[in-house]
Amino acid sequence: MRRREFLGTAAAAMLPLRAQSRPPNIIFILADDLGWGDLGCYGQEQVRTPNLDRLAAQGMRFTHAYAGGAVCAPSRSCLHTGLHNGHTRVRGNGNKIPLRPEDTTTAEVLKKAGYRTGLFGKWSLGGIYSTGYPTRKGYDEWFGYFSQTHAHNYYPELLLDGEREVILRGNTGASKKDYTHDLFTERALKFIEKHRSGPFFLDLAYTIPHTNNELARDTGNGMEVPNDAPYSDRKWPRIEKNFAAMVTRLDASVGRISELVERLGIAENTLLVFASDNGPHHAGGHDANFFRSAGHLRGYKGDLYEGGVRVPAIAAWKGRIRAGHVNDTPWAFCDVLPTFADLAGVAEPRGLDGVSIKPLLLRGAAPSREYLYWEHHERRGFSQSIRAGDWKGVRQGQRGPLELYDLKSDPSEKRNLAATKPEVVTKLEKLLAGARTESADFPVRSAPPA
């Protein structure tokens, strides 16, 4: 990938660095379908997220962070391989293929660097007998779902623990006692305690607030949560109380993890990153507009407009990342692997699309790049989007015209400037022409006829 200057906004002031004797512990917490506007620190006024708001105050909050894709699996594939949506192995949810042995993951890179690695929650990139199974892709410990579809259920009877199946006896029969989100939190806390001497890499892939699609078909309410506290007395629809309760439960779990890191005395050598895998969903009976989950952005999960791919993201590292800074430099999930490799002091794999944002985290120095790219293979057929500087191009369908938006003056993507800025359209078209490689598993197809 060619690396040129990204024509984004200015970076933060430089901060002095202290000598570091060993690579940092890394905790990456990923929410599922949490919108850009679902946290208090991003403008949410009704759903309580005090712990994430505090984490943002202690670290850096990003206003232009991007997921790898507009839906779950491709976003995770970009996150774990350092390749963008036009090059990564898994480019959509529809064709459930695993990562291959040659697809190097973040966990594999860090494990070779001496890290203990753990993944708890949702994976989506390879089942138990596949080449993409977590224990074959660099994770020492793995506890989670059988598949992406299995991850819809917050009260399953079985989960995977390493190479074996485990029965959740609290969920057998008609019982619903073992809520998976809470189980993943407990395992994460134990992992941190066990490996406190470091270095460790904790990949905590929660499913909150994703809907239980199958439950929604039966009951009309896919927001599955033990109770709707602390919103029980609100005059909201039941499903929206449940959604809010899920987000606040997520927030409480992040708080427990952050507090443990502080209590163990490892906060000064632990980077904690929080993000979401894509924009907010309209599923399971939930209305993403009820809490303005996308904020001022256009679109939702499955869209390549900003609301579908721009996500909340926070990074905190005591004494190393500038506290309370709001950063508007664009970066995306494909940057995670090279960043973590850089922090660990090891070489990144060749041919990545992502760039290290370590200088952005520690000094506020913006990375150099030419563009960010996404594609989508479901719903209306193949679509693409690209961001170069403040210009955003969106194409619906294989041969549709390119829409053009100036994100600096029009962050809500309301004014299509393609007709008045043909020179910019031409530039983005040229970038799009070389942005992707063909995939036999995710072939380009036109939108179905109306």
The confidence band for 186, taking pLDDT boundaries of 50, 70 and 90, is very high
Residues 165, 294: one domain?
yes
Q: Please enumerate in sequence order all residues whose Cβ is within 8 A of that of 265, keeping only pairs 6 or more positions apart, or say none.
A: none
What's 94's domain CATH number? 3.40.720.10
Asked if residue 256 is part of any domain, the answer here is yes
Whether residues 379 and 327 share a domain: the answer is: no
Instruction: Give the burial class of 256: count Cβ atoms within 10 A of its Cβ; 0-12 exposed, 13-18 middle, 19 or more buried.
Output: middle
Is there a domain that residue 18 lies in? Answer: no
Q: Determine, yes or no, domain membership for 445.
A: no
State pLDDT tens for residues 132-164. Answer: 999 999 999 999 999 999 999 999 999 999 999
Q: Tell whether 441 is covered by a domain.
A: no
Q: Say whether both 170 and 316 belong to one domain.
A: yes
Is the CB of residue 394 less than 8 Å from the CB of residue 298? no
User: Around Cβ 381, how many Cβ atoms within 10 Å?
Assistant: 16
| Residue 250 structural domain | 25-370
Split at pLDDT 50, 70, 90, the class of 440 is very high
- Residue 380 sits in the same domain as residue 366: no
| C-alpha to C-alpha distance for 272 and 268, rounded to whole angstroms | 11
Q: Residue 234 pLDDT > 60, yes or no?
A: yes
Q: Could you tell me the pTM of the whole model?
A: 0.94
- C-alpha 382/C-alpha 364 separation (Å) is 36
The answer on 157 and 268 residing in a single domain is: yes
Q: Provide the domain count of the chain.
A: 2
- Residue 334 sits in the same domain as residue 395: no
Strands 158-161 and 331-332: unpaired
310 and 402 co-located in one domain: no
For the chain, what is the largest distance between any 2 Cα atoms, rounded to a whole number of angstroms? 63
> What are the pLDDT digits (tens) for 377-423?
987 789 999 999 999 999 998 889 999 999 999 999 999 999 999 99
What backbone phi and psi angles, to 5 degrees, belong to 333?
-60, -30
Do 66 and 138 sit in the same domain of this protein? yes
Determine the pLDDT at residue 445: 62
Residues 61, 154, single domain; the answer is yes
DSSP letter for each residue of 387-419: EETTEEEEEESTTPPEEEEETTT-TT-----TT
Regarding whether 61 and 164 lie in a shared domain, the answer is yes
**Residue 159 three-state SS:** strand
199 in Cβ contact with 114 (< 8 Å): yes
Amino acid, res. 419: A
- Asked if 292 and 408 sit in the same domain, the reply is no
Dump the DSSP string for 89-130: S---SSS--PPPTTS--HHHHHHHTT-EEEEEE---S--TTS
pLDDT of residue 20: 52
360 with 396, same domain: the answer is no
